[in-house]
A and B are shown apart, each in its own frame.
Chain A
């Protein structure tokens, strides 16, 4: 007895049977084809999205970034909460002066969605007030002109650094809008810098980025022109090294406790939480998509089992003949099992080919789609192995039924 020879014979018989019934085999494969294609395509798309999120996270300072947000004073301090001035420009100068571990620091003064007007055109986009360190924290690149300078901060200059969205909408004929003017809420700003277009940062690939819709003015300008006070919405700080983070957090906490007169109405957020959230999201995506694809493959497997059971019923007499001329039960078992495996393997391979097509399509139509890898190898390997496993499992029962047929009864079957 040679198990390899038996498997080879079973596989050859199985393959010739699949080949002889192409349409039926293709129909029974359809569940597996779609299941594998859906699994691989979904994993590929999600991996692409997550990769974008990771890129964005890294661009935004990554794990080294800290954010200070306002929060309500704790219960015990509620009655004296009024003595705190809240988060103000004073916090910025205090941190600058007393926190040497802060490599970069910027306040964010939120203006939110503003209407930008120039050349008789109007366009909505986001506007924030910041300081020069912002560009280092966010790791952005200026394509034309310069970023906000210390002088702009000191003189509350009416200058703006725009993203590519505003340039495209308001200054269509000009590649470089530096030196031109625009208006926001009736105030005139001179464009001193223009960010690189994130949409076209990868040659030949479409890329959509919200970052293109962000525009920045000096924080002091935003405060004096629109807010009428020196409040800031949050502070972003970049540490020099990861090991310095605990000390940096302590320094900031001490400094702000002083400037807020002992009231704990601020919160220092690390990116670790965001990272954890992102990892949680990644896991939940992976498991939920894996579950959905698993169920669709299971349905595909049931389809194969159904077809194989029908095939056994159709070929009872053939099974009788094969047994009469010397096939053992396990030869018949292997033949039918091999048929199911051939269906699932071929279906799996076709599913993989389809998934490449789907991912290519998704790359073209999904925002930020260039991050989608059209050949997610690990997903393909898992998808293929899982579909083969499903085929194997779904072939076992029909194969057992076929192998247990009595040759005499099978030969009498009409």
Chain B
């Protein structure tokens, strides 16, 4: 069996918010190691800290304290600009509400991250179409999101997450707005991405969805209380 490299190494990560005069410990000393091509499901009740963990992993938020190593580099206290650069080039996001921009076509939505990654891509259109092919949505490239079903929109959102060839895709309740049939399709699509060397971490309330993951992390009160592999 080949040794898989670490993508993330989180040590004693804490994230504290001030709500009014009260301090909320959203992450209260999280230790976590994520390796490449892992498929992780983060589960837990509302307020357990799973979304904060995802935001931290996605460089949308920075920890109050603790050490965060990403691809061998200490990223615990990087600037907002550096975090944005990492989001653009190394991370893909998939949201529950799809979050496609309604005025842009499917293809333009998929191409949007290229605008911000500052990566020189010679044929952007071809790259976008390729990403749409991977999710089976190339035939709807010129449509707008409003013309698509929920399942189709989420496929487009996945294509958008894939366009910059990220190391890690973070999905926040990606099947929350989908019916059972589409849920299965999306999860199979996610599972197929592992073969392409992508690491997946998704937040879900749904145990059936969590079943697709090889590793399950349960959070409670800002701590990882269960970390099990199948």
Give chain A's interface residues, CB within 8 Å of chain B: 1-2, 5, 9, 13, 16-17, 20, 317-318, 320-329, 331, 407-408, 411
B89 contact set on A, CB distance < 8 A:
326
Q: B112 — nearest CB in chain A belongs to which residue? A: A325
How far in angstroms is the closest Cβ of chain B from A305?
Answer: 22
A320 to B116: give the CA distance in the assembly, Å.
Answer: 14
A17 to B93: give the CA distance in the assembly, Å.
Answer: 24
A321 to B58: give the CA distance in the assembly, Å.
Answer: 13
Q: A328 — nearest CB in chain B belongs to which residue? A: B84
**12 further A-B pairs in the complex, CB-CB below 8 A; given A324-B87, A326-B117:** A318-B101, A321-B95, A322-B116, A323-B87, A324-B58, A325-B160, A326-B84, A326-B89, A326-B164, A328-B84, A331-B115, A411-B95
How far in angstroms is the closest Cβ of chain B from A297?
Answer: 29
Any A CB within 8 A of the CB of B4? no
Q: B113 — nearest CB in chain A belongs to which residue? A: A325
Any A CB within 8 A of the CB of B46? no
Digitize B143-179: 1 where CB-to-A-CB distance is under 8 Å, 0 elsewhere. Answer: 0000000000000000010001000000000000000
A317 contact set on B, CB distance < 8 A:
99
By CB atoms of chain A within 10 A, which of B58, B61, B87, B115 has the most?
A: B115
A150 to B200: give the CA distance in the assembly, Å.
Answer: 110
Please determine whether B80 and A331 come into contact, CB atoms closer than 8 angstroms. no
A321 contact set on B, CB distance < 8 A:
95, 99, 101
A9 contact set on B, CB distance < 8 A:
115
Q: A321-B99, A408-B60 are in contact. Are A329 and B80 (CB under 8 A)?
A: yes
Digitize B38-76: 1 where CB-to-A-CB distance is under 8 Å, 0 elsewhere. Answer: 000000000000000001001011000000000000000
Any A CB within 8 A of the CB of B230? no
Any A CB within 8 A of the CB of B20? no
Any A CB within 8 A of the CB of B181? no
A160 to B167: give the CA distance in the assembly, Å.
Answer: 101
B113 contact set on A, CB distance < 8 A:
325-326
B60 contact set on A, CB distance < 8 A:
323-324, 407-408
Digitize B103-142: 1 where CB-to-A-CB distance is under 8 Å, 0 elsewhere. Answer: 1000000001101111000000000000000000000000
Please determine whether A326 and B58 come into contact, CB atoms closer than 8 angstroms. no
Please determine whether B84 and A408 come into contact, CB atoms closer than 8 angstroms. no
B88 contact set on A, CB distance < 8 A:
325-327
How far in angstroms is the closest Cβ of chain A from B216?
Answer: 24
A-B interface, 4 closest residue pairs, ranked by CB to CB distance from nearest: A326-B88, A326-B116, A328-B84, A325-B113
Please determine whether A331 and B116 come into contact, CB atoms closer than 8 angstroms. yes
How far in angstroms is the closest Cβ of chain A from B105?
Answer: 11
A325 to B115: give the CA distance in the assembly, Å.
Answer: 10
* B93 interface neighbour in A2, A5, A324, A329, Cβ under 8 Å: A324
A-B contact pairs, 10 of them (CB 8 A): A16-B103, A20-B103, A320-B99, A321-B95, A323-B87, A325-B87, A325-B88, A326-B117, A329-B80, A329-B81
Any A CB within 8 A of the CB of B9? no
Q: A2-B118, A20-B103 are in contact. Are A325 and B55 (CB under 8 A)?
A: no
